[in-house]
Structure 1
Amino acid sequence: MRRRTVTSLAAVLVAVGLAGCAVQSSTPVTDLEARERFLAVLDETQGVVGGSWQTMDDPTPRECVIPLWVAGERYPALRVGEAPASVGAAADRVEAAWAEAGMRVTRTAIGDVVEVRGESAEGEVVVLRVSESASTLLGESECRPL
């Protein structure tokens, strides 16, 4: 009986491993340091785009779930800026800066708006949208366990 239980447990562990399910742990920093790291990415991106920006960050965390159903929270942020001198050049600079920082970057044209989306290894998500009329920068910090 014990051998069958051990064999069954081993089969479940192998199946989970083959399915790609891995426990994502939070980074080894404090919650405040994780939030400040995320906000620094936004601040740096504003500098890359240039122009004047209005900070409209929400200080209230949002609920999230870390794999294997661990409750957590993440912080949202929103920045609104003026239109860049060149939409394409601003998107190019941000795409390059985020890629250099190790983010997975995607770029999409949505009508007259160019969207650049970056996802960090830590689980941060940052989205820049630029057009001839305005720029927006938004995102969420990594999900931190409660």
Structure 2
Amino acid sequence: MRVHVRCPVDDDELSRLHVEAFGHADSPVPWSERLERHSRSWVVAEDEGRAVGFVHAVWDGGAHAFLLDTAVARSHRRHGVGRAVVAALVADLRSLGVEWLHVDYEARLEPFYEACGFGRTRAGLLRLSE
């Protein structure tokens, strides 16, 4: 497995990974454009030429970034891929001068994010769509 930071991405391949990881409806997402426009950094894990892991961080233009879309292919779960992409993202954000990295997650994912070094905080969430 190889980990690539701020690399070119294949929109269709990344969309397929997200469908598999999150169970979204299968629709292509313009990932390349979205990442270039909104993200401070992103990481893709590749195995045998196929994207098997992904994460990115959007930011406020200053000290804060927000981790989003941690995705790992079913075939590669529980093999350290998720931690590897998060660790690479953290290292890159540090090198870029980002001071704080925020993440929201479901309770079932708490052990994963704590293993990645995140501490617990209180946060609020408001659903804007029905």
TM-score calculated relative to the size of structure 1? 0.26
**1 or 2 for the larger relative contact order (CA 8 Å, sep ≥6)?**
1
TM-score calculated relative to the size of structure 2? 0.28
